[in-house]
Amino acid sequence: MEFIKVFVVGGSICLIAQLLIDFTKLTPARILVIYVTAGAILSGLGIYQKIVDFGMAGARIPLTGFGHVLVKGVIKEVDETGLLGAFTGGIKAGATGITAAILFGYVVALVFSPKPKK
């Protein structure tokens, strides 16, 4: 049951992005920006937490989940330190993802090279 929820929620979030690509003139780069922003706004409205509670990794793994992490961090810090928290909370909460991406990105780029497509 748990995995069905994860699959359906995660799959649906990806499906919506695919429909946006195929039916509108939006480029994938724009859709990623829309997704992170939409996740942040839905999180601010308290909606995304409900989606996470239901879909778990299905809501956390898509990029909307990254927007959610940023906003959750901001709100937590604002609660603890006031207005300054709006500046510190987001990146702090997203630090794991950003740091991992930079580190692994750098190492992989050192080791591997691009190959022509078939």
Partner 1 sequence: MTKKEYQTYVNEKAPKSPKLINGIKAFVVGGLICIIGQLIYNFFISLGLLEEEVLSITTIIMIFLGAILTGMNIYDEIGKFAGAGSAVPITGFANSIVSPAMEFKSEGQIMGVGAKMFVIAGPVLVYGTITSVIIGIIYYFIRM
Partner 2 sequence: MAVKRVGNQTVILQKPPIILESASIAGKKEGEGPLADYFDMILEDDLFGEKTWEKAESRLIREVLLKVIDKACLSYSDINYVISGDLLNQCIAASFGVRESQIPFFGVYGACSTMAESISLGSMIIDGGFADHIVCMTSSHFCSAEKQFRFPLEMGSQRPPTAQWTVTGAGAVLLSSDISGIGITKITTGYIADKGIKDANNMGAAMAPATAATIVAHFKDTGLQPDYYDMIITGDLGKFGGELCCSMVENEGYKIKDRYKDCGVLIYDLEKQDVACGGSGCGCSAVVLTSYLYQLLKEGFIKRILFVATGALLSTTSSQQGESILGIAHAVSVERIGI
Residues 2-21 that bind partner 2 (CB under 8 A): 21
Give the sign of the dihedral formed by CA 93, CA 72, CA 49, CA 42.
negative
The reply on whether position 23 binds partner 2 by CB under 8 A is no
Give me the least distance between CB of 49 and partner 1, in Å please. Answer: 13
Site string for partner 2, 77-116 (x = CB under 8 A): -------------------------------------xxx
For residues 52 and 68, is the Cβ–Cβ distance under 8 A?
yes
Q: How far is CA 102 from CA 78, 98, 109, in A?
A: 27, 6, 10
Q: Give the contacts of 62 (CB within 8 A, at least 6 positions apart).
A: 10, 13, 14, 35, 39
The reply on whether position 28 binds partner 2 by CB under 8 A is yes
Residues 4-43 that bind partner 1 (CB under 8 A): 6-15, 17-23, 28-29, 31-33, 35-37, 39-41, 43
Residue 87 interacting entry, from partner 1, partner 2, none, C-beta within 5 to 8 Å by type:
partner 1
Closest by CA position to 48, among listed 63, 30, 33: 63
